[in-house]
């Protein structure tokens, strides 16, 4: 009998697959051997990253750019307060621990990833994807 997968790892796998399904995206190689992040890029520009230096293996940490809704989502219980450059540039970090129902928020996180992708993609590509 197999052990059920950690919901945060399950959500991360689903979100990575979603991000990679968007046009012209790739998973950037780690910058260093011990880099704890997974970066999704479009045309060489990062639009989402998973993990963080202080993230534990049993939690999900996702950072995306939300130029339209960053202020609206700031009060959600799973959104970490942004500071400095991240706040000025509308980057938002969602953090879910092992006791949180991350799977209930998957559609929201996918929509955030799309908004981030559209904000970072070249205009022609963003128009194409937004029209799909």
Task: Give the three-class secondary structure for 45.
Answer: strand
Residue with tokens 């260093």: 32
Q: Is residue 21 part of a domain?
A: yes
Say how far apart CA 15 and CA 12 lie, in whole Å: 5
41-91 pLDDT, tens digit per residue, is 999 999 999 987 777 888 999 999 999 999 999 999 999 988 899 899 999
Strand partners, 80: 93
Q: Is residue 31 part of a domain?
A: yes
- Tell me, what CATH number does 95's domain have? 3.90.1150.30
Residue with tokens 């950037």: 28
Q: What angle do CA 69, 75, 78 make, to 5 degrees?
A: 95
Q: Is residue 25 part of a domain?
A: yes
Q: Say what the pTM is.
A: 0.89
Query: What's the burial of 107, exposed, middle or buried (CB within 10 Å: 0-12/13-18/19+)?
Result: exposed
């Amino acid at each position: 009998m197999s052990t059920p997968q950690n919901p945060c790892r399950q959500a991360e796998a689903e979100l990575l697959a979603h991000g990679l399904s968007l046009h012209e995206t790739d998973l950037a190689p780690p910058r260093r051997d011990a880099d704890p992040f997974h970066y999704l890029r479009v045309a060489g520009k990062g639009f989402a990253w998973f993990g963080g230096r202080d993230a534990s293996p049993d939690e999900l940490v996702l950072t995306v750019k939300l130029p339209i809704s960053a202020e609206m989502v700031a009060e959600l219980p799973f959104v970490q307060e942004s500071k400095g450059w991240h706040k000025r540039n509308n980057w938002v970090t969602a953090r879910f621990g092992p006791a949180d129902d991350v799977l209930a928020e998957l559609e929201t996180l996918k929509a955030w990833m799309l908004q981030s992708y559209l904000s970072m993609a070249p205009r022609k590509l963003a128009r194409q994807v937004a029209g799909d």
